[in-house]
Structure 1
Amino acid sequence: MTETADRAADPNLRTDLEDIYGRYEELRSGVDELQRSVATMQVSAESESGEVRATVDADGRLVDLRLNQDACREWPVDTLARVIVETVQHASAGKSRQIEQLVTNHRPTDNA
């Protein structure tokens, strides 16, 4: 009788293992997709007046900076520098929010 119970348990165990492996594959695929998304991420922010536009990558490094010619000619250097720093900080904060959203979206649903 024990032998019969063991044989009956075998298909159930196999099914459980297949389910676990399938969930693992889904998680792995999600992690790969998340890594690709973060690796290629760029987030931009614009100053209130639109004179400065900064773009940062997923590490928060400045990868692009656009300045309006009028701001360069008319604003005092200290003002322009402050606006650039603030705009880069806004882009970096946006990057953090975007990464948080990506992670939230890639969280597996609990089917168990």
Structure 2
Amino acid sequence: MTETADRAADPNLRTDLEDTYGRYEELRSGVDELQRSVATLQVSAESETGEVRATVDADGQLVDLRLNQDACREWPVETLARVIVETVQHASAGKSRQIEQLVTNHRQVDNT
């Protein structure tokens, strides 16, 4: 009798294991996609007047800086330096928000 019950339970167990493994593969794929998205993330910000544009990567490292030539010629060095720093900080803050959004979206997909 026990052997018959074990055989009857076996297909259910196998189905449960297949479902669990399938869910694991989906989660793993989602994490891989999230990692790729974060690894390739770049965020740009522009100064209020558009003279400075800074782009940072997922680590917050500056990867591109564009300066308007008029600002370089006409602005005092201290002003240009301050605007550059502020613009890089805005890009970095935007990077943090985008990573948070990617993680939030990933979690919402996992919970469905």
- Partners of 1:67 and 1:110 in 2: how far apart? 42
Q: TM-score, structure 1 length as denominator?
A: 0.94
Give the percent of matched residue pairs that are identical in Structure 1 and Structure 2.
Answer: 93
- Distance 1:31-1:6 versus aligned 2 partners, 3 A rule: same
Contact 2:27 2:110 in 1 (8 A): no
Instruction: Look up the SS of the partner of 2:31 in the other structure.
Output: helix
Q: TM-score, structure 2 length as denominator?
A: 0.94
CA offset at residue 111 of structure 1? 6.3
Instruction: Look up the SS of the partner of 2:111 in the other structure.
Output: coil
Q: For each residue in 1:49-103, what CA deviation from the matched residue of structure 2 results, as whole angstroms up to 9, or x when unmatched? A: 1110000000000000000111111111111100000000000000011111111
Q: List alignment gaps of at least 5 residues for structure 1.
A: none
Contact 1:43 1:91 in 2 (8 A): yes
- Distance 1:104-1:47 versus aligned 2 partners, 3 A rule: same
> Partner residue of 2:84?
84
Contact 1:27 1:108 in 2 (8 A): no
CA offset at residue 106 of structure 1? 1.4
Runs of 4+ in 1 over 6 A off after TM superposition: none
- Partners of 2:92 and 2:33 in 1: how far apart? 22
- Partners of 1:95 and 1:56 in 2: how far apart? 7
